[in-house]
Amino acid sequence: MPIVRNKQTPRRKREPNAVRLRRTRNGPGKRLRAYADLHVDTLKSSFVRLRRTPVASIMTVLVIAIALTIPASFHVFIKNVRQASSTLEATNQVSLFLKPELSNDTGSKLAEALKKHPQIEAAELITKEAGLQELKSYSGFGDALQALDFNPLPVVVSIKPKDSLTRPEEVEKLLGELQALPETDFVQLDTEWMHKLHSLLTIAQRTVIVFSVLLSLGVLFIVGNTIRLELQNRRDEIVVAKLIGATDRFIRRPFLYAGFWYGFLGGTLAWLIVSFFLLFLRGPSRRLAELYGSPFTLSFLGLAETELLIGVSVLLGVIGAWIVVTYHLRELDPT
C-alpha cells in the first residue's frame, strides 16, 4: 500500500502542472508571438517575391524615388535659401549718416547709446577722417580727393542688428527709429530685396506643397497599378485560396507588405538621390560663401525630415496597395 500511494502522489502533483503548461502554450503571449511571426514571415516572403521580378520591381522603385525626389529637392532648396537669407539679414550693416555739422565726439556718444538698444548687437563709429581715408583707398580717386582742402564726409555709425532680427518688418521698424533720431541725416539699407525674397520663398513653398500632393497621388497610382498587375498574375491562386476558406484579410496581407517594400525602397532611394545631389553642390556653394565672406554651409535633410520622407513613402505604398486589393477582392467571386 505505501508503494501504491507513492506512485499515485506524484501523478496528482503533475496534473496541475500539465494543465498550467497547456494554458501557457495557448495563452495570449503565445498567440501574440505567433501573430508577430506570421507578419514577419509575410514581410520576408513579400520581399522575396519582389526579388523574383527584379526588372519590374526596380523600375517601380525608381519611378517612386524620382516622384519623391522632386518635392524633397525643392524643400531642401527653399530651406537653404531661407538659411542663407537669414544669415544675410543678421549680418546686414545699417549705415547711419549723421548731419554734416556734427563732430566725431557727438558720433561717439551716439554710438555708445545705440549699443544699449535691444535690437542692436554692435555699433561702430566711423570718423570723418577714417571715412575719407577709406574713400581714397577704394574709390580710385585718391589724387583728386587729396586736392581737397576740407573733409566733405559726415560721421557714420555702422550698426549691426542682432541675429533675431530676421524679418523685413523688424528691420524697417529699427530703421524708422534710427531715422527719427535728431542727429540722423539719413539711414542707408536696402530692404526692398528682403520683401521680394520672402515673397518668392512663400510662392515657392506653396508650389512645393502643390507638387507634393500631385506627386503623392502619382505614387499611389504607381503602386496601385503594380499591385493590380500582380493580382492579375495571381488570380487563380487567390481563387483557390478563397475556395478553401481564406479570408480577405489573409489574402490582402502580402500585397500590403509589397506596397510597404515599394514605398520603403522608393523613399530610401529618394533620400539617397537628394543627399548625393547636395554633396555634388557642397563644394561650389562653400567657395561661393567664402567669396562673400558668409558662414553659410549647405544643409542636408535632417533626421526628422528623412523619417518624414520615408514614412510618407511607406504610407503611400500601403494605402495604394490596400485600395487596389480591397477593390479587386470585392469583385473576385470564386463561385
Task: Identify residue 183 by its one-letter amino acid code.
Answer: E
**pLDDT-derived band at 130, boundaries 50, 70, 90:** confident
d(CA 312, CA 298): 24
Q: Do the beta carbons of residue 310 and residue 271 sit within 8 Å?
A: yes
Q: What is the pLDDT of residues 209-240, one digit of tens each?
A: 999 999 999 999 999 999 999 888 888 888 88
The count of C-alpha atoms lying within 13 angstroms of the C-alpha of 136, restricted to the half-sphere facing its C-beta, is 15
**Mean of pLDDT over the chain:** 81
**pLDDT-derived band at 312, boundaries 50, 70, 90:** very high
Over 50: is that where the pLDDT of 285 sits? yes
Q: What is the pLDDT of residues 139-191, one digit of tens each?
A: 555 555 565 666 667 888 988 877 544 566 777 788 888 889 998 888 877 56
d(CA 130, CA 125): 9
Q: Do the beta carbons of residue 45 and residue 39 sit within 8 Å?
A: no
Q: Do the beta carbons of residue 267 and residue 314 sit within 8 Å?
A: yes
% of the chain surpassing 90 pLDDT: 32
Alpha carbon 243 to its chain centroid, in Å, reads: 48
Q: What is the pLDDT of residues 3-30, one digit of tens each?
A: 444 444 444 444 444 444 454 455 677 7
Q: Do the beta carbons of residue 98 and residue 126 sit within 8 Å?
A: no
pLDDT of 35: 78
pLDDT of 158: 86
In this structure, what C-alpha cell is assigned to residue 263? 514605398
Indicate the fold that domain 93-188 takes in CATH. Answer: Alpha-Beta Plaits (3.30.70)
pLDDT of 7: 44
Among 118, 226, 249, 107, residue whose Cα is nearest residue 177: 118
Q: Which of 60-69, 103-112, 232-241: highest mean pLDDT?
A: 60-69
- In degrees and rounded to multiples of 5, residue 101 shows phi and psi of -80, -10
Using alpha carbons only, what angle is made at residue 327 by residues 322 and 331, rounded to the nearest 5 degrees?
Answer: 145
Q: What is the largest CA-CA distance in the chain?
A: 137
Among 68, 32, 26, residue whose Cα is nearest residue 222: 68
When pLDDT is averaged across residues 41-70 and rounded to a whole number, the result is 93
Over 70: is that where the pLDDT of 318 sits? yes
d(CA 202, CA 208): 10
Q: Which of 31-40, 102-111, 122-131: highest mean pLDDT?
A: 102-111
d(CA 79, CA 301): 9
Q: Sketch the domain layout of the chain as residue ranges.
A: 43-87+196-331, 93-188
